[in-house]
Each structure stands twice: as structure tokens, then as C-alpha cells.
């Protein structure tokens, strides 16, 4: 399932695409089609422990969604189609690079593993050290 939709001939991918693929790989594994080689290859794309943990969370989320929703569908293919949004998967034209049908604006990424806004930081490096506005005298 995973190989047919996503393909495994990529060379480099973005962090967001790695999360999307890891989630789909979790769904595929939950349906009885594991791909340990692709799992390890995706995991190696993360350069930090945080990145590896996010990828692991995406994988586990995919497996858990299968466990929770599998009884609602007749076939494994129906489960796959319900849990993996085909419109946000990469093009299956056989190209080595990843091209998306839709912009990569967090569509298809499970909410549990999306990046928290507070981690992006502020434009002012000292904003966290200043007194809050309501405590300042004017």
C-alpha cells in the first residue's frame, strides 16, 4: 500500500514530508504491511533527537488510528483510503524528488505531531526577559 502510493525512490525530503510518510507507514504497518527498511530510512532523515521522536510519534499515530478505526470498514484498502489523504500524497510519476499536489501547509500531518507555535520563537530575542506590559509603569 505505502510503496504504491508514496514510492521509495526519493533521495531527500522535507521534514514535513517525512512526518507525512511516517504516518502513512504507520497506517500501512497497522494494516499488516510493514516496511522496516523505509522506516529506518525515514528515521535517518531526522538530524536531532526531537526530529526522531516526532517521526516516531507520527508512526505510532498511524498505527493507533488503524486500531481505532479498522472495524468501521470492510477492507484494508478502505481503511487506508480513509486514513491517508490521497490528495496530499506525493505524485506517483516515478520521479525521484517529491512533488506535492497541494501546498505543504500542514495538510495531512496529524495534529499530535505538528510543530507547536511557541517553538518558532519571537522576533525580539529579549521579549521573554522583559516585564509583561501590564506590570510596567508608565
Cell of 24: 502513512
pLDDT of residue 121: 58
What pLDDT score does 1 carry?
A: 79
What does the pLDDT read at residue 56?
92
Nearest to 98 by CA among 32, 18, 1: 18
SS3 24: helix
Q: What is the pLDDT of residue 106?
A: 47
Residue 103, helix vs strand vs coil: coil
Number of structural domains in the chain: 1
Percent of all residues in the chain with a pLDDT value above 90, rounded to a whole number: 17
Taking alpha carbons only, the member of 133, 83, 99 closest to residue 17 is 99
> In 3D, which of 83, 106, 109, 88 has the Cα closest to residue 30?
83
Q: Which residues of the chain have pLDDT under 50?
A: 87-106
The rounded distance, in Å, linking the Cα atoms of 72 and 8 is 29
Q: Helices (DSSP H) in the chain: which residue ranges?
A: 2-6, 15-30, 36-44, 49-69, 76-83
Segments forming the whole domain that contains residue 50:
2-135
Amino acid at each position: 500500500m505505502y510503496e504504491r502510493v508514496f514510492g521509495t525512490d526519493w533521495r531527500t525530503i522535507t521534514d514535513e514530508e517525512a512526518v507525512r510518510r511516517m504516518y502513512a507507514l504507520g497506517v500501512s504497518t497497522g494494516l499488516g504491511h510493514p516496511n522496516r527498511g523505509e522506516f529506518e530510512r525515514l528515521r535517518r532523515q531526522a538530524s536531532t533527537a526531537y526530529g526522531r521522536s516526532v517521526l516516531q510519534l507520527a508512526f505510532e499515530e498511524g498505527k493507533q488510528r488503524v486500531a481505532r478505526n479498522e472495524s468501521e470498514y470492510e477492507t484494508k484498502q478502505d481503511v487506508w483510503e480513509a486514513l491517508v489523504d490521497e490528495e496530499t500524497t506525493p505524485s506517483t510519476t516515478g520521479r525521484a524528488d517529491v512533488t506535492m499536489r497541494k501546498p505543504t501547509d500542514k495538510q495531512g500531518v496529524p495534529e499530535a505531531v505538528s510543530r507547536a507555535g511557541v517553538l518558532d520563537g519571537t522576533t525580539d530575542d529579549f521579549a521573554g526577559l522583559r516585564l509583561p506590559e501590564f506590570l510596567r509603569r508608565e
